Structure 1
């Protein structure tokens, strides 16, 4: 119909770069599967093995270890809390300096590169480096969580600052405010709900990560879980898993509820 009306159909643009990238990624994935020495025939036995070990862990849990499991879980929560507080104290001012318009270009690029570098290193690798100085203590796990949290909170922070409406910022500048005053009165009232939400979400992440850090012996429920798994005491492992799951779900629920209240409160205030 378009041809009869005298209109030429648009020519679809070729994107050789995109095609090459897709083929390259596909080749890498295929080669990765072929290079892994996996006994694919054992996958058929996986459901049965899961049922067998599930029965060993949860058929008759060893509830005598519950008090110790709760105590070690509390130590993991302390580790996560201290790591979150330290990362907030360090990342918040750095994220403000990394935001466009509030810090020199060289410092902004340096901080953003630092945040990216930190995020590229898992918490467990950071903990292995830190423990050479602090030893195998819960404080080692807290420091590892704090360092990793600086990377994520720093990125989330400067993105939140750059996303706030420019009106109050321009008004603070027009009134002769300094950079500190502009951040305090033009940026922070708008960005604070997002910052609080990110801080709570980071605490959720740290709670889960603290259990993983216990695998290298820094304490907490993860350390206890590793020990009893190595000795094949499955009834105790079942109790530990129940405690970990329940505590993690409760922390996620509480944090999510608070974050929703903060976010909805900001929306409600904006609508008034």
Structure 2
């Protein structure tokens, strides 16, 4: 007698969602996206007609700005203000390092108790939520015009941004060394100093360089509200209808940004090649 070979029972195939239902969901999502764009278009008063009507005015504006004013006095003033803008971005970045590091450790799970963790996260969210321009307006009112309120504005905003980025980097670090130290009886500060920070130091420095690049650009905008630097000269040129000088200042800003980009790229390459 031959015995029948039993075939293994096949697992039931999950039923496919009906095509009609999938199409309805897809078209509903598309309709919601289109409705959101229509609402945004109306709320922002977008008008292609107004743009076309303003072409003539834009042409007159460019004709008055070109060629730029390359007089020695204008270039000297512009270069001096650009250096001030660079210093604002530098100080706003480096002076925020201690506060950013403290908040990052307090806002990292495992290095701070639960209530401190939640409080630190809330403070970082507040500092990030307030734009640096708003901080600049507040400090301009408090200490007057000039580069100093710009540094203070970047300092406050950058602590919120960099503290959040550093906290997330610490939480994504390899948990092995930290767990080994905890099992040996190490405290929170010892775990952070000996296990977490050494592991993620390259990432922290890379984020710091990135924020320096961003802060130099932000310091330009802060100058438009009276916080010093070359942004102040651009705003002054526009108010005095000296558009050729305005274009000169913008070209100097372009040179400054390219130089900062190259400097940041060089620092990242050196950091990556370091043992």
TM-score, normalised relative to structure 1:
0.85
- Contact kept? 2:68, 2:248, Cα under 8 Å: no
For residue 35 of structure 2, what is the aligned residue in structure 1? 27
1:52-99: CA deviation from partner (whole Å, max 9, x where unpaired)? 544433424333301111111111111111111222121111101110
For residue 158 of structure 1, what is the aligned residue in structure 2? 167
For residue 5 of structure 2, what is the aligned residue in structure 1? none
Gaps of 5+ in 1: none
From the superposition, tell whether residues 22 and 169 of structure 1 become closer, same or farther in structure 2 (CA, over 3 Å): farther
The counterpart of 1:11, out of the listed 13, 16, 24, is 16
For residue 195 of structure 1, what is the aligned residue in structure 2? 204
Q: How does 1:28-43 map to 2 (within 5 A)?
A: 28-43=36-51
Moved more, 41-50 or 61-70: 41-50
Length, aligned pairs only: 262
**Rounded Cα–Cα distance in structure 2 between residues aligned with 1:198 and 1:35:** 36
Q: How does 1:214-225 map to 2 (within 5 A)?
A: 214-225=223-234
Quote the offset at 1:224 in angstroms.
0.6
Quote the offset at 1:151 in angstroms.
1.0
For residue 110 of structure 2, what is the aligned residue in structure 1? 101
Q: How does 1:1-272 map to 2 (within 5 A)?
A: 10-12=15-17, 24=32, 26-44=34-52, 53-64=61-72, 65-262=74-271, 264-265=272-273
1:157-213: CA deviation from partner (whole Å, max 9, x where unpaired)? 111111111121122223332222211111111111111111111111110011101
From the superposition, tell whether residues 177 and 7 of structure 1 become closer, same or farther in structure 2 (CA, over 3 Å): closer
- Contact kept? 1:63, 1:236, Cα under 8 Å: no
Which structure has the greater CA radius of gyration? 2
Quote the offset at 1:21 in angstroms.
7.4
**Rounded Cα–Cα distance in structure 2 between residues aligned with 1:25 and 1:112:** 32
From the superposition, tell whether residues 22 and 121 of structure 1 become closer, same or farther in structure 2 (CA, over 3 Å): farther
Quote the offset at 1:46 in angstroms.
6.0
**Rounded Cα–Cα distance in structure 2 between residues aligned with 1:56 and 1:79:** 31
- Contact kept? 1:83, 1:142, Cα under 8 Å: yes
Moved more, 191-200 or 115-124: 115-124
**Rounded Cα–Cα distance in structure 1 between residues aligned with 2:81 and 2:93:** 18
Moved more, 83-92 or 50-59: 50-59
**Rounded Cα–Cα distance in structure 2 between residues aligned with 1:226 and 1:94:** 35
Give the alignment's Cα RMSD to 1 decimal: 2.8
Gaps of 5+ in 2: 1-9
